[in-house]
Structure 1
Amino acid sequence: MLSLLTTSLIAMAVPTATGPCPNGVIHQLDGLYRWHVRDMEQRADPVEALPSQRQRFTPSLFELLLQARSLTPTRDGRFLDFDVFSNTQASTFGARVTGCSDEQRGSIQAEVAVTVGLRRVPSETPRRLLYEMTRSSTGSWRINNITYLDEQGFQLRPFLQTLINPEP
């Protein structure tokens, strides 16, 4: 019963992304996934490859991603064990921006359907992610946080902060 109540409260707290998205938001997210799919196909080192995407993220989120991707189980006892752009350990085949919420105070929520799968076979059910996009001082849109809608509102930023700086 409590789980159902929690899920309902989270669903009410997450804004629905039903309207059209600004071109700048679509451009940033489409570009991110084109890079990500290509990066996965080339099996590039995630720590070395990520800096090429710095302009797509707010500086604070980018720094958290870089630090988290640098963690290793042998040295740090913890590491980032999932793909932050799909919330899976599977391959990403592509993504589609499905809608945006209304802009509020320079921020917008963009819902993205991510196609993932195993062994080169895409799943029929896409993963749903909600990107919090903020407008930079230059007017471009940047990723500030990701909420994984399939995981009862699990958010990337707080997770990374805890992963990097665990409580003793």
Structure 2
Amino acid sequence: MLPLLAASLIAVEAPRQQSLHGLACPEAVRQQLDELYRWQVQRMDQPEPPATQFTSQRDRFTPALFNLLLQARELTPKRDGRHLDFDVFSNTQARTFGAVVTGCSAAQGNSIEAAVDVQFGLGSRASDIPRQLLYTLKCDSAGHWQIAEITYRNEREFQLTAYLESLLNPTP
């Protein structure tokens, strides 16, 4: 009886941690985020010249968010007195090892929210606790999903757009 019980326990998949965004994501949304993080990990392994590395991802973002990101990436401490001091795809200053889309939920109209756990770390060791990001994607008129917003959910929750706008247009 024990071998039968043990065999049945091995065959049963352990339940996944319940996510607030537990709906299955459309394949196009999952693919968009998977490809973004594939690029991100490759970028960590083989850095490209700054001029070409980010612009290759233009179509993944809404024009408004892409333009904010592009402007923020051009800031320098010497010239502007400020700069984008963290990686927007991990909310860290560390290396990205990978990411997993953990679920989706419908937002408003033609948009969807996708929860993503990002594995990051220093050197060759990933942290045991992933960074939690929430991507808001919008479906454009051609049916393509584009990233419209990133919300960072770990220590202090904040949204990328508001952060970039304040970085680019600081109030005295």
Cα gap change, 1:36 to 1:46, in 2 (>3 Å): farther
Cα gap change, 1:47 to 1:79, in 2 (>3 Å): farther
Partner SS, residue 30 of structure 2? helix
Match of 2:6 in 1: none
> For the pair shown, which has the larger CA radius of gyration, 1 or 2?
2
1:164 aligns with 2:172: no
Match of 1:136 in 2: 140
- The offset of 1:25, in angstroms, is 0.5
Aligned with 1:22 (options 12, 19, 26)? 26
Query: Can you give the 5+ residue segments of structure 1 that lack an aligned partner in the other structure?
Result: 1-14
Partner SS, residue 143 of structure 2? coil
- The offset of 1:48, in angstroms, is 3.0
Match of 1:155 in 2: 159
Which structure is richer in relative contact order (CA contacts within 8 A, separation 6 or more)? Answer: 1
1:63 aligns with 2:71: no
Letter of the aligned partner of 1:146 in structure 2?
I
Partner SS, residue 151 of structure 1? coil
Does structure 2 conserve the Cα–Cα contact (< 8 Å) formed by 1:46 and 1:69?
A: no
- The offset of 1:124, in angstroms, is 1.0
Aligned with 1:125 (options 125, 129, 133)? 129
CA distance in 2, matches of 1:33, 1:46: 17
Partner SS, residue 18 of structure 1? coil
Letter of the aligned partner of 2:72 in structure 1?
A
Aligned-residue identity in percent? 56
1:60-95 deviation digits (Å, cap 9, x = unpaired): 000000000000000000000000000000100000
Once superposed, which parts of structure 1, at least 4 consecutive aligned residues long, lie more than 2 Å away? 43-48
Partner SS, residue 113 of structure 2? strand
Letter of the aligned partner of 1:56 in structure 2?
R
Aligned with 1:104 (options 95, 99, 108)? 108
TM-score for both structures, normalised by structure 2:
0.86
| Alignment length (residue pairs) | 154
CA RMSD of aligned residues (A): 1.4
- The offset of 1:104, in angstroms, is 2.9
- The offset of 1:165, in angstroms, is 1.0
Query: Can you give the 5+ residue segments of structure 2 that lack an aligned partner in the other structure?
Result: 1-18
Match of 2:11 in 1: none
CA distance in 2, matches of 1:46, 1:132: 26
CA distance in 1, matches of 2:151, 2:120: 17
Aligned with 1:78 (options 53, 78, 82)? 82
